[in-house]
Structure 1
Amino acid sequence: MAYTILYDVFDEIVEIAMGNQLHVPKGHIAVYVGETKKTRFVVPISYLNHPCFLDLLGQAEEEFGFNHPLGGLTIPCDKDAFIDLTSRLHCC
């Protein structure tokens, strides 16, 4: 019992320390973007159907196949270009 409580407290501390980085809300997906240093973004799954995002997914498939060791989808795209794209998709 005490072990479970300590584990829950530890888990909560880790989540706070990491800025809740591991949480992906329902209806979203984690993606890692960047050419050398990867940045994690959480985007709505509705973006996956947009033609511009589908182009990025095609590039990811060509470069990485189905091997995404970071725990989320890895997209070979410049971080600033990805932010620009998602900003435009958010407006739609």
Structure 2
Amino acid sequence: MGIRLVGISEAKEKLRRTLSPRKGSISTSNDVPKGHFPVYVGEAQRRFVVPISYLRHPLFQELLHWAEQEFGYEHRPTGGLTIPCSEDYFLTLISLLKSS
């Protein structure tokens, strides 16, 4: 279980660095709202913006753990985390998180 928490901690740290403001960064219409992070899902790499609070939810942590075990983390240079699950699975998970 300690190994699992390390993986989640690393993902949180990568997201924190991605979302922290950088000197000279230019604001665009695609900016992520404060308290959220981008996730790219599925074969088409569809972009979702989800609340950071989801990182604490056991279902989302399980998804991150599975993705790490199967594929490792792919961190986009433009920001965001790539999770190699289907869009349908991700949308179902997000629906469960919203209702809990």
SS of aligned partner of 1:25: coil
Q: Secondary structure at the match of 1:82?
A: helix
Report deviation, 1:25: 0.6
Map 1:4-83 onto structure 2 (within 5 A). 15=28, 20=29, 22-34=30-42, 36-62=43-69, 63-65=71-73, 67-69=74-76, 71-83=79-91
How far did residue 39 of structure 1 move?
Answer: 0.4
For structure 2, which runs of at least 5 residues remain unmatched after alignment? 1-25
| Matched residues, number | 73
Deviations 1:22-74 (A, max 9, x none): 2111111110010x211000001111111110011112323133x41262111
Are 1:84 and 2:92 counterparts? Answer: yes
Paired letter, 2:51 = P
1:74 & 1:64 partners in 2: Cα distance? Answer: 10
Identical counterparts, % of pairs: 52
Query: What SS class does the counterpart of residue 31 from structure 2 fall into?
Result: coil
Greater Rg by CA: 1
TM-score, length of structure 1 as denominator length: 0.68
Q: Distance in 2 between matches of 1:59 and 1:73?
A: 14
Give the ranges of 4+ consecutive aligned residues of structure 1 lying more than 4 Å apart after TM superposition: none
CA RMSD of aligned residues (A): 1.9
